[in-house]
A and B are shown apart, each in its own frame.
Chain A
């Protein structure tokens, strides 16, 4: 799997040095979960803002090109935007159209299993963002609706991932971070909403447990995700290159 490998793993001196460097990195260089969550939240906020700015910038540019279309078009756009805003407001968590929005999101998921698994993770993260926004607005009903939707999305993702190790590993990595975000959120929401957050935390933790159980036994060579000496799963379909220095 690794072209760099010409390791005498069975040599006591070599192995001990590698282990000591590994232990050193884990003890002194690894980020704690809270730091990771803080960094991720800040970076993702920046990414979202940049994406939003790019969208607005693009819209402004297009408006400049089409400015001669006149006031009639502007009025039509304003009416359209007004309608869209009303629909958007109604489709937020706890809103009358929230269920419809979730349904549309689900039926438009890709049919391909891998693409669908990635979209499911995106969907779960969207529900987490819904929960964060609802909590920031102090809306307990919205938090409950969003966390309920989060739980449902997690359940669906687990079910669809089956026993595929790649999909399960990606899902597990995502859910592990969500627990930290949800735990932070739990202290900021009204009491009624806090129960919803706790249920979402339980759903995430249960899902991680299920994933651990569903993953193939690392000791068994089933050709999928066989771990190498680092404990990392090997890539499927990529054979080792033992002869290569």
Chain B
């Protein structure tokens, strides 16, 4: 996380006042996690790009009406994204551009290594596909977008405890599907370890 809660609050206030520079900083903070979340829902990279742009434009429109009042900005923004994805899904039924979704991690690997990496990624893909919609969304928000449980709860319109439960069951299912099913005990709760900066993954609770 690059911007702390106080700095983000100041940026949001400035952006509400029409400061485009402040909005640019907000964009820099949320662009990548937002894109990841959208890409995990729509699959087509071109759609992910269009929708990410659309969400930020919608945020520009809606920002004057945003009031903090206990709602974390990340939760508000991702809720906007979620609604935009739902609208998109209602109007578009194209097949995923699987070829276009190139695996960047395999770009510089040799053929054998590439095949192994692809297998690994495909296995994660299949494991994610085996989750319920809500479990998958909880994983996407927590791991791919880096949101806190509270922010994810705001996005999904659920209680924080429900999110933790969904995440716990999703992790158990993923571990089984990926043959990592070791007995970790009842209280284990994985934290996203994406190696990437993600808003809300820090102290924005």
Name the CB-closest residue of B to A38: B49
Return A153 CB to nearest CB of chain B, in Å: 14
Does B158 belong to the interface (CB within 8 Å)? no
Is B97 located at the chain interface by the 8 A CB criterion? no
Once bound together, how far apart are the Cα atoms of A235 and B143, in whole Å? 20
Is the contact region of chain A dominated by helix, strand, or loop, or is it mixed?
helix
**Quick one: closest A residue to B146, CB to CB?**
A230
A47 touches B24 (CB 8 A): yes
| A28 and B24 within 8 A (CB) | no
Cα separation A35 to B36 with both chains bound (whole Å): 13
Task: Count A/B pairs, Cβ under 8 Å.
Answer: 209
Residues of A within 8 Å of B198, CB to CB, are: 230, 232
Q: Are B191 and A21 in contact (CB under 8 A)?
A: no
Any B CB within 8 A of the CB of A46? yes
Contact stretch, chosen from A170-178, A193-201, A207-215: A170-178
Q: What is the interface size of chain B, counting residues whose CB is below 8 A from a CB of the partner?
A: 68
Q: Is B101 an interface residue (CB 8 A)?
A: yes
Interface residues of B in 91-137 (CB under 8 A from A): 101, 103-106, 117, 120-121, 124-125, 128
> Given the complex, which residues of A lie within 8 Å of B182, measured CB to CB?
11-13
Q: Which chain B residue has the least Cβ–Cβ distance from A123?
A: B21
| Of B20, B28, B191, B195, the contact of A4 (CB 8 Å cutoff) | B191
Interface of B toward A, CB cutoff 8 Å: 1-4, 18-21, 23-25, 27-28, 31-32, 35-36, 39-40, 45, 48-49, 52-53, 56-57, 60, 101, 103-106, 117, 120-121, 124-125, 128, 139, 143-144, 148-149, 164, 171, 174-175, 178, 180-182, 184, 187-198, 201-203, 205
Supplied contacts A8-B184, A27-B104, 12 more A-B pairs, CB within 8 Å: A14-B188, A17-B180, A21-B193, A24-B128, A26-B105, A31-B36, A31-B49, A43-B53, A166-B2, A230-B191, A232-B202, A234-B202
